[in-house]
Amino acid sequence: MTSIDQPRLAVRSPADLIAAVPYLLGFHPADSVVVVALRGRRVVFAARGDLPEPGADPRPAARHLAQVVARQDAESATVIGYGPAARVTGAVDAVGGALDASGLVVLDALRVTDGRWWSYLCTEPECCPLDGTPYDPVSSEVSAAAVFAGQVALPDRAALTAQVSPFDGPVRVAMHQATVRARRRLTELTEEAAETAMVGGRSVRSAGVAAVRGALRRHRRGERLGDDEVAWLTVLLTHLPVRDHAWERTDGRDTDISLWTEVLRRAEPELIAAPGSLLAFAAWRAGQGALAAVALERVLAAHPDYSLALLLDDMLRRGLPPSELDGWPAADPPEVIRRRPRRPRRPRRARRPSS
């Protein structure tokens, strides 16, 4: 689920919108239902869910998508289903009904299958032929404008997941050795602090603050951290005061996203919780909800009780807009998600049978 804070794309037709969706999500969807929400004529949010399995009730997932979209202060939406008609039609109809019940105007409901699109609401053969309308996203002006603006659409969600997967081979061996050294260094630091009657936590926090600031500063200058630097940082991030210091200094800058992606991928499996959560927070702040989601999936698969990951995952699933996080975590996190007043229901256009 992604709040849109990117260069504007001129969308004038269903084909343009279909071409824009991969750049709104960050990847080309498949076997999915996507809701593109608008405020006025501006796209403000895009949410994606998996198509329900054959025979499953699509309504619970549809209600969840509608609730998430309604929290974005959107006024209208278009629903797009990707896949065969047998699986798409029921899901799109359920999502459209849930959006309508939430007070949003459903502008259109589309199906995309094998390079063609159909509208469930259009009844004009001149613009919506029965055998569908072919489209070529590669040649679309929308795609060209998105690429020119630096936006990326990965081939599929698996490609996005691969961006947060661990490095293996020589990198993994080197990082394991560096982490052994980092753990030994931390032990020596705490033992030295105890011998000098210092508070061990304060000593670790001082080292952590220095490591975090150094990593952020160097990465923002375009410098790559060495194995020992990354290992030392990941060991120190297991201490909550250090993690929170890093959290307070992480925002949605590209350099912060790339730093925590690099640290997450190089960290030892038992040390990924903090860098993965920091990546998710940075990606969310940048409006890259899909990247935040896959980072949290990896963290929670390995550390299902990590509190920061659980908090971020809950807010992401609720569709909390990144703008609601201004000042957080220095300020208290939002406790209440404001409900938007329901608008009067408008009659939906006549539904056209799918082909």
CATH ID of 2-156, from 3.30.160.20, 3.10.129.10, 3.30.2020.30, 3.40.140.10: 3.40.140.10
Using only the alpha carbons of the chain, give its radius of gyration.
23
Of residues 125 and 48, more confidently modeled:
48
* Residue 39 · residue 75 · CB < 8 Å: yes
Of residues 112 and 337, more confidently modeled:
112
What is the tens place of the pLDDT at every residue in 81-140?
999 999 999 999 999 999 999 999 999 999 999 999 999 998 888 888 989 999 887 777
Give the pLDDT band (50/70/90) at residue 256. Answer: very high
Write down the pLDDT at residue 260: 97
Segment holding 329, helix H or strand E: none
* Range 167-172 average pLDDT: 96
Q: What separation in angstroms does the CA of 24 have from each of 75, 103, 202, 313?
A: 18, 23, 44, 20
The full length of the chain comes to 355
Helices (H) and strands (E) in the chain, counts: 13, 7
DSSP state of 58: -
Does position 148 have pLDDT exceeding 80, yes or no?
no
In the chain, list all ranges with CATH 3.40.140.10. 2-156
Does position 10 have pLDDT exceeding 80, yes or no?
no
Report the alpha-carbon distance of residue 295 to residue 263 in Å, rounded. Answer: 12
* Range 237-260 average pLDDT: 93
Write down the pLDDT at residue 23: 87
Write down the pLDDT at residue 97: 96
Of residues 322 and 100, more confidently modeled:
100
In 3D space, the residue among 148, 156, 155, 153 whose CA is nearest the CA of residue 26 turns out to be 153
Report the alpha-carbon distance of residue 42 to residue 33 in Å, rounded. Answer: 20
Highest mean pLDDT among 130-134, 220-224, 235-239: 235-239
233 C-beta neighbours (distance < 10 Å), count:
25
Does position 339 have pLDDT exceeding 80, yes or no?
no
Write down the pLDDT at residue 183: 96
Report the alpha-carbon distance of residue 138 to residue 247 in Å, rounded. Answer: 39
Write down the pLDDT at residue 124: 86
> What is the amino acid identity at position 310?
L
